[in-house]
Amino acid sequence: MQTKIIFMGTPQFSVGILESLINHPDYDMIAVLTQPDRPVGRKKVMTPTPVKEVAVKSGIPVFQPAKLSGSPELQALIDLQPDIMITAAYGQFLPTKLLNAAKIGAINVHASLLPKYRGGAPIHYALLNGDTETGVSIMYMIKQMDAGDVLSQATLPITDDDNTGTLFEKLSILGRDLLLKTLPELIDGTNVATPQDPDLVTFSPNIKPEEESLDFSKSAREIFNQIRGLYPFPIAHTEIKGKRTKVQKSHLIDEHSDLPSGTVFKKNKHELWIVAGDGNILAIDELQPAGKPKMDVTAYLNGHANFTEGEQIITHE
C-alpha cells in the first residue's frame, strides 16, 4: 500500500524533491502546500511558485493560504490524514496540530548541517561565512524552528566556483537523494533520530537589505564571499564614484597593494581590479550600474568607467 504524503515547499530548491516523490511508486502525493502566487516583474504578473507548477501539471491538489494558522486549508489538510508530511523550503511555520496529524511523522529537508544555520538562509550564510563544507539535514519538525531531532545528513564541499545559485542546485539534488534513502527507514521504524547539540546551534535569518552593501575596507576574501553569497539573489552592491552599482560576480587575484581600499589597481579593456582592505586584490567580472542592464566587465569598461588606475573609486563613510 502506498504511503500518503503531503508535501510543503515553494522555490526551485523544492522542485526536484517533489518530482522524485511524485514519480516514486511507493508514495501517494495527496496534496501540496505552497506560498500564494506573487506579482513578478515590472508588469507585476501574478506568478505561481515553482512547486505549484509541478503539482498542477501532475494533477495534485494545491493549497496556498497566505497564513496557514487558523485558515480553512489547515483543517482540510488535517482531514486528509497523511502518513507523512515533508517540508522543503516552504516558508511558513506549521501549527502543531498539523504536525501531529501525520501518522508516521512530519519531517523537513533543510539545506545545512544542523544544528548549524537554522533559519531561512542557510545556503547564503555558508558562503558569506566562507565555509568549505555544507550539506543537507532531514529532521523531525517541531514547533521550534529547525530544532527537531536529525534523521540523516549528507555533506557537500563548497568550492570557490560556487555561489548561492549553484549550491541551491547541488543541495536540492543531495536533499532529494537523501530523502529517498531516509523515507523507507522512517516508514519501517529502523531509523534512529539524533538530538541536536544546543551548544552548537547557529542561525541564518533572511538576508537584510543592509547586508547587501559591500564594504571594501574588508578583506578581498570577505568581499568575494559576500558577492557570491548574494548571487543570484538578492545581489550585492556598492557605490562606484557615487553611483550605486550591483556586483554579481568577481574573483580573487594573487596580488597585493599598499594603495587605499577601493582603489583601482589595474584597468584595461577587459580587467578591473580593486584593492580591498587587507591590500589583496579583487577582480570584478560582472556588474550592473543603476538604470542599466547587467553586463560583463568588458562592456562596463567600454562605456561606464570614467576613471583611471590609482584612483580611489569606492569610498566609505
Residue 239 CB neighbours (<10 A): 16
317 residues of the chain, pLDDT tens digit each? 899 999 999 999 999 999 999 999 999 999 999 999 999 888 889 999 999 999 999 999 999 999 999 899 999 999 999 999 999 999 888 999 999 999 999 999 999 999 999 999 999 999 999 999 999 999 999 989 999 999 999 999 999 999 999 999 999 999 999 999 999 999 999 999 999 999 999 999 999 999 999 999 999 999 999 999 999 999 999 999 999 999 999 999 999 999 999 999 999 999 999 999 999 999 999 999 999 999 999 999 998 889 999 999 998 75
CA distance 92 to 85: 14
317: closest CA among 246, 245, 217, 235?
A: 217
Non-local CB neighbours of 98 within 8 Å, separated by 6+ positions? 68, 74, 77, 78, 85, 106
Q: What is the predicted pLDDT for the residue at 40?
A: 86
Which pLDDT value is given to residue 42?
81
Q: What is the pTM of this model?
A: 0.94
